[in-house]
Chains A and B, each alone.
Chain A
Amino acid sequence: MKNPNENPKVNCDDIQRLLVNKISDELTRDEDRLVEEHLKSCGHCRSYQNTLLSLKDSMQIGRGEKLVPDPAIRENIIQRMKTSQPQETGILRSTWQYVKSVFQYRVPVYQTLSGLALIALIFLATKQISFSPDQRPPEPRSLVRMEMPAPTQMSVVDNLDILAHQKIGQSAKDDTTLTRFIVSTM
């Protein structure tokens, strides 16, 4: 057995200081060897080392108190996570959510219906106005210009309604006949 006083500079106080660092794994290899050598022959330092090891051992989780996290904590937090997270953001889902939210308001039915009717009217009016040239409906028959031959003097006389009114120019038909004749002779 080696003499503990082999190194005259090392005494029990020094070793105990090193032992304190040893339980925090802060010793160099040489220091560790020095401590081990000393412990072989020093019961007092061995006892001190045991105290330190008991101290470290007692600090470990699971030693001493039988503490277990309350299971309600996990459940509460997970529940809170589920309620606080936003719903998935699909376009259909978000639209449906929006529609539902709109219908949650107490809107009078007649207002809703009249609003919808107004929207429909605006839509139809827009549809009427914005025809493309190809889609334009045919003009009424009365507005179609008919190609008519230039009236002759005889046909003018025939067409005037002299017999009915004893005078020329008493009806719209006469006016038209005369006007056309005059225009054709100019």
Chain B
Amino acid sequence: MGKPRYAIVGLGMVTGPYPEGITARAAEAEAGRQAIADAGLRRGDIDGAVQLRRTAGGGERTPWADAFTRMLGVPAKFFFTVGRGGALAGLGIGTALGFLELGIAKYVLIAGGVEDWKSSRRTKEQGYRGMVHSEKAGYWGKPFGDLRAPSHHSFLAARHMYEYGTTSRQLGMIAVQQRAWACLNPRAKMYGRPITIEDHQSSPYVVEPYHLLDICLVSDGAVAFVLTTAERARDLAKKPVWVMGLGTGEVAESLWWDKQNYTHLAVKSAKEAAFAQAGIGVTDIDVAQLYDCFTGEVLFQLEDYGWAKKGEGGPFAEAGHIGPGGDIPVNTSGGLLSAYHYGDLTGLSEAVMQLRGGAGERQVKGAEVALVTGHGGELISPGMCSIHTSLVLGV
């Protein structure tokens, strides 16, 4: 393994629902305040900032693009927005590394917040369901009722079921095991609300084959973290969490209608790059935070990363490997399905907590290597979630 050159040194997190009068912008600023304090830094130390924002995958949402940096009061020399669907943290780190490498910045504050819960309450009163209703320029499917993420993500599960005989019960066991993790996380939305496979099966179909309990939450909240260089990281308040590897993959590497795109995510290139930089294999991963907008994406990644053979993710998940006490703990916060949906910042925040040994009742003993994956950004509807990011963190 090469010597890590960059580290996450501070973490801040706000979980919703927001009290009256709190915006995503304010939550980003507050999470940023916490992250700076967590690192033992002061606001004046922050000389660069990146805002993470879902763009293509989650619709175009710019109303809060006003700088959280202005609100927080950090003297950043650069500030801009990156993100592609739920692929946020990996792209934010990849971007910030260049500024650290060039010496433009010493400490970069990276933050992303959402107010999807708040928005969805409002649009529900107008007869809509799901996240805030937004149009996407050039988007194909809306006249046909391809309106929300389950409208096209469910093709993946449907095709996997057709090709490999995967069942709804097998997908449901992913939701059940993640819920068990959420019940160990007091900040999770579904804390104290365990579910059984029968609960999953009897939950209503939203877009068949997906039941309600196959589908992630919408949330309020924000996550912020401070990224710096290895030599600076050693002098700060908390044990550094090293950036060991980062890789990306795109569905558009092949024709977007290639058949493999419906039973695989774009993991291959992302995994190869990240694992090679980190000098690890899949068995070295102690805790995996896999992007889980739906149960199907988790199943695909269990196969694509190699915990299960292609086509055998269903029986693997059903056998119970991924919940508390399992041999590969997956989405230990409860994930997007059961805790809170901040894109891959949900996974990033959880990985940092696990690697620092501060995850409370859900702490995975001896966790030293964590995988965080990001996913999102349709090419077009019928939407393929185009990008995949692999981030390997370690202590």
A and B assemble together:
no
Interface set of B (CB-CB < 8 Å, partner A): none
Binding site for B on A (CB under 8 A): none
